[in-house]
Structure 1
Amino acid sequence: MIEYSEFVRLCRSSDSDERGHAAHLAALAYLDHSGPGDEHAALYAALIGFLDDPSVKVRAALAYGLLHSEAAPRPIIMALLQDSAIISRAVLQYSPILIDADLSVSIKTGGRAIWLAISQRSSLSHRVAALLVDQGDEDITLRIIRRHDIELDPSLLTTLAQARGSDAQMRGALLSRNDLPAPARLILVQRVAEALRATRIVKGALAPERLERLLRDGADTALSAIGETESCYARKDFVADLVVSSRINARVLLHAVVTGHVMFFASCIAELAGVMRDKVFTLLEGGSRASLAALFLRAGLPVSLGKVLIRLVIHARTADLADDVAARHYVVTAMTEEMIADHDGDIPADLQEAFAYLSEQNIALARKAARGVMRAFAHTTSLQMALPPAEAPEMLELPAA
């Protein structure tokens, strides 16, 4: 407690520390006031008087007392916002009184220090966050992207992925967001593949052809996995965009089935054929060969590719292709052998892409399925490895001297 006479003495003191103490006391008393109206008015007048104090320490003490309160007088907060840089930044970072319009003006007229202060506020609207990103400062943009409490517009995230996806830090920040839209995620996967392709240690570890196959397979898997997630949430835009941009081809369709991403496959066929996805899914689960052939024909697929997909779908009905690598390897092997047998080893030109894909998958899946098999077998058996008897080295016959 302090008497008003003592408070007035502190206000008139030549010592800036004492005046600062008075300013802070006046701010606390105003915010916690529950007495008569004239007392409240006097405290308000005292706060306004401290705005004209020549010492920045006094004005900072006033700001410190009001910063975090929603009951702080807006005129005083706005005056402090126009004060020295250290006070202005503190107000921008902490005051709940400021609204989006206030922050937007400060962003447009201020510099990096102002943007940094605003980016550290406890909460930001998507409008203010987008405006901060629009300033083009890399560090500020990263701070905004890494704040998962801020909802950002999907189009903004897609634009950032397109424009800044080659930067590893930005890529990581974007990929860590749960609200990253599917198109942006696909763009970033492509940027990751490009970065790996150009990385010296990766190029030195794998032959160019094998590296290209691995990256292409990874990109296909990412595409079908993203599409599967979008299809499970009944979001049609992703698949529709793929169809419009002509990114749905034989390889994508085959890979979707082989990896067990049936919802994505059904969405692709439904979009191409112009039918309901539920109907397509029902046909995939139990439709006859004739009904599947009619469906694929309506989707605009070549007859030869449709026959391959029919066989693959029928195989997939009896195998867990999503999680069982061995089952996936068995199905791909069976498909490859059937295609060779059907065409007597002379694969038609219109099936070359599908056959090449299945052959690639056969090798890759064989590697995956074989990992750990011998180690597991060795731990469960006491047999010795049967080897052919070693042949005696042939003796050289030298002529007599």
Structure 2
Amino acid sequence: MVAYQEFVSLSRSMDSEERGSAAHLSALAYLNHTGPADEHAALYAALIGFLDDPSVKVRAALAYGLLHSSMAPRPIMLALLHDSAVISRAVLQYSPVLIDADLIGLIKTLDVSMLTSISQRKQISPRLAAALIARQDGPLTLRLLRRHDVALSADLLTHLAQTHGDDAAMRGALLARRDLTASARLLLVQKVTEALRGTRIVKGALASDRLGRVLRDSGDTALSAIGEREAGKANPDYVADLIVSDRLNTRVLMHAVVTGHVMFFADCLAELAQAPRSKVFALLERGSRSALNALLVRCGLGHGVRNLLTRLVMHARASDLADDAGARHYVVTALTEELIAEHQGDIPQELEEAFAYLSEQNIVLARKAARGVMAAFAVEARAPMAVALDAPEPRLALPAA
């Protein structure tokens, strides 16, 4: 314990180090005081006195003594907030005494280093985060996006996806957030697709037509995968937006079934038919052909597309399309052969898009299924098919010259 006379001696010393020790001790004594009120008031007066010390070291010692406490006096912390940069940055980053109203008013005038200190606070409200992002500083916005403990509004995230979606780092930070809206996620996937299409190494690795097919197939998979996740949340807005923007077509519906995203497929049919989702899912699971056809009629689909989707659903009931590439290849091959046999090779115009999709998937899925089969076969047949290596013939030793 420091005696009162010793404290007075430290606080009046010509050495800034000693005055700083007195300031720090005063801060700790104030925060831990449990005695009479007049003693607490005297300590408060001592803290006020150290605010006028000409040495930055002394004021910094005072600030660091009070910095992490929610019991620190607000007037003193606000005074330190407007002190030198090194003290101000520490107060901005660590002091729990400051509230949003204290910080938001300063954000418009602070420099980037000060804003960075605010962005590193332990807790940041959505309102404060939005005010920081409104400064339109790229690294600062990226720092906040990477903090998943900071809640950001759906509208703000969508706006960032629209305005900063062309930046790879921003795309990655946005896509990593679980609170990103489905429409914004789909927009970013489209931007990723366009970025890949324009990347020199990608363009050089694949022919233009094949690259287009690969990117289109990946885009459809992403669209249906996002829809499957939204279907799990019982959120119909994603499908409604797809219908309004004319993104929902025969190809997307077929791809949803082929990739095993049946909940998304059910949501699509429910939204198109304006029918209860539970009823649609029950029909897809065990409804008859006539019942399925009636549902697809309500969706506004043509006769040929209805027939094709009904067959696809029937095949999907007996196969694990979500995880088995071989099952997907079988179903796609069976549908392709049925279409060719039914129309004797003359595919109607109504089914041209669907037939083109099946032809593309036949190639893609054949490759995937073959890789799986060959890998499994190699593991099982490793011992019997091991190639025996003949021992090398002994070399003749030449006599020394």
Shared fold per TM-score greater than 0.5: yes
Give CA deviations for 1:213-270 in whole Å, capped at 9, x if unaligned.
0000000000001100110111111111111111111111010011111100000010
RMSD over aligned Cα atoms: 1.4
Compute the displacement of 1:338 (Å): 0.7
Compute the displacement of 1:286 (Å): 1.4
Secondary structure, counterpart of 2:220 in structure 1: helix
Secondary structure, counterpart of 1:221 in structure 2: helix
Structure 2 portions without partners, runs of 5+: 387-401
Match in the other structure for 1:143: 143
* Residues 258 and 321, structure 1, Cα contact 8 Å, conserved in 2: yes
| Range moving further from structure 2, 258-267 or 301-310 | 301-310
Alpha-carbon distance in structure 2 between the residues aligned to 1:267 and 1:286: 17
Match in the other structure for 1:341: 341
User: Counterparts in 2 of 1:218-233, with a 5 A limit?
Assistant: 218-233=218-233
Match in the other structure for 2:308: 308
Match in the other structure for 1:323: 323
User: Counterparts in 2 of 1:1-400, with a 5 A limit?
Assistant: 1-378=1-378, 380=380, 382=384
Give CA deviations for 1:353-391 in whole Å, capped at 9, x if unaligned.
01101110111000100114345435545589xxxxxxx
- TM-score in terms of structure 2 length: 0.93
Alpha-carbon distance in structure 2 between the residues aligned to 1:12 and 1:372: 81
Secondary structure, counterpart of 1:246 in structure 2: coil
- TM-score in terms of structure 1 length: 0.93
Match in the other structure for 2:389: none
* Residues 106 and 114, structure 1, Cα contact 8 Å, conserved in 2: no
Alpha-carbon distance in structure 1 between the residues aligned to 2:61 and 2:364: 68
Compute the displacement of 1:56 (Å): 1.2
Alpha-carbon distance in structure 2 between the residues aligned to 1:176 and 1:49: 49
Alpha-carbon distance in structure 1 between the residues aligned to 2:222 and 2:211: 16
Identity in percent: 68
Alpha-carbon distance in structure 1 between the residues aligned to 2:375 and 2:26: 77
Alpha-carbon distance in structure 1 between the residues aligned to 2:40 and 2:4: 13
Compute the displacement of 1:272 (Å): 0.7
Compute the displacement of 1:295 (Å): 0.8
Alpha-carbon distance in structure 2 between the residues aligned to 1:181 and 1:374: 40
| Range moving further from structure 2, 285-294 or 261-270 | 285-294
Compute the displacement of 1:309 (Å): 0.5
AA at the equivalent of 1:318: A
Structure 1 portions without partners, runs of 5+: 385-401
**Cα 1:13–1:320 shift into 2, 3 Å:** same
Alpha-carbon distance in structure 2 between the residues aligned to 1:98 and 1:107: 13
Secondary structure, counterpart of 1:149 in structure 2: coil
Alpha-carbon distance in structure 2 between the residues aligned to 1:180 and 1:379: 42
Match in the other structure for 1:396: none
